[in-house]
Amino acid sequence: MAGALTGLLVLSLEQAVAAPYCSCRLADAGARVIKVERPEGDFAREYDSAVEGMSSYFVWLNRSKESLVADIKGAKDVPLLEAILERADIFIQNLAPGAATRSGMDSEVLRARFPRMITVDISGYGESGAYRDMKAYDLLVQAESGLAMISGHPAGPGRVGVSICDIACGAIAYSAVLQALLERARTGSGKSIKLDLFSCIADWMNVPLMQFEQMGRAPTRTGLSHPTICPYGAFELEDGTLISIAIQNEREWALFCTHFLQEPELCTRRGYETNIVRTANRAMVDMHVARVFSKLGRTQALARLDSAGTAFGFVNDIAALARHPALRRVTVDTPSGPVSMAAPPDAWVGTGRVPALGEHTAAISTEFLSRGRGAVGR
């Protein structure tokens, strides 16, 4: 079954997470993705050895791609890369600052040569300004953007537990490519897409940024609570189980007071009457709610929460995620055998194989150097 992007050719000079995330989604949708790797491979291949000796990051982000080992700085591989570029619809790169330009893969030059090409340049902090030449990895951008300072426990800042800046940028890049393809279908012209990790996560930081600039104070770290909604957070049951609740409006609060706390008058008591007031008195409100939770077993708590129509969820560990009833899985073939992983959230064509380093080098060389231009691509 052909995917929406079947027939498109992508050349990606990629490493780590952001660009591979984008190209992986393109491959999921049917595009042919040629991943260029240096002789030692994408360094994400060595992040860990958790998946039958392979890196979990690499297995996650590189299914359905072809691996081409090529030296982008050496003259020997230039003819091959040029031949692929002549047929490519999309060019992606997230190399170190200036590396693509020094190797002759400058996106502005490519756009001038190939007007229908869509180019995607992913950097850490953008291509201008004081941070232009700074290397950027996910943790550094979490720290620089202020995200780490509003994450974690009140005792100190914390890293969000997945590479959220990389993933955000990769997802936004994928969305931008799809928009560019629609625009190209209408106008016949490609597009230059330039994204950076910092700007992508800064956009997601708009709420705390506006709160700081308009109110003069930034949100504090609240652990498993919400900085501006109360009660909204995790509470401990009689057996020590953590369960989180979310109260979104005054109607939900009144129902919670009536059916869970069994104190219908509490929602009008001073210090409890509105969300803004409750947030200002968070310690008192949370202590009152926690006292009720601490006296209930799981069955009692769930019955009361259901009766109140309160949104809730258990604070699960990864072992619980692995057996979660809502977790959908796919099986991906790898050089070490089939691997089960969480499925992407949207519809897709299928799960292609994760390539071994340089697995497709010979075939790609034969195809592009001996046959010249073909039907694939632009």
Please give the Cα distance from 228 to 211 (Å, whole number): 10
Across the range 255-275, mean pLDDT stands at 96
Higher pLDDT, 170 or 4: 170
Condensed to tens digits (0 to 9), the pLDDT of residues 107-155 reads 999 999 999 999 999 999 998 888 988 888 999 999 999 999 999 888 8
Domains of the chain: 9-205+327-370 (3.40.50.10540), 232-314 (3.30.1540.10)
Residue in 257, 258, 255, 234 with CA at minimum distance from that of residue 246: 234
* Crossing angle for the helix pair 18-28 and 164-187, to the nearest 10 degrees: 50
Residue type at 66 in one-letter notation: E
Mean pLDDT of the chain: 92
Identify the pLDDT of residue 377: 45
Global pTM value? 0.89
Supply the DSSP symbol for 137.
Answer: -
Q: Is the pLDDT of residue 2 over 80?
A: no
Residue-level pLDDT at 81: 94
Least confident of 27-41, 56-70, 101-115, 299-313: 101-115
CA separation for the pair 52, 331 (Å, rounded): 14
pLDDT in tens, 330-361: 999 999 999 999 998 876 666 789 999 999 99
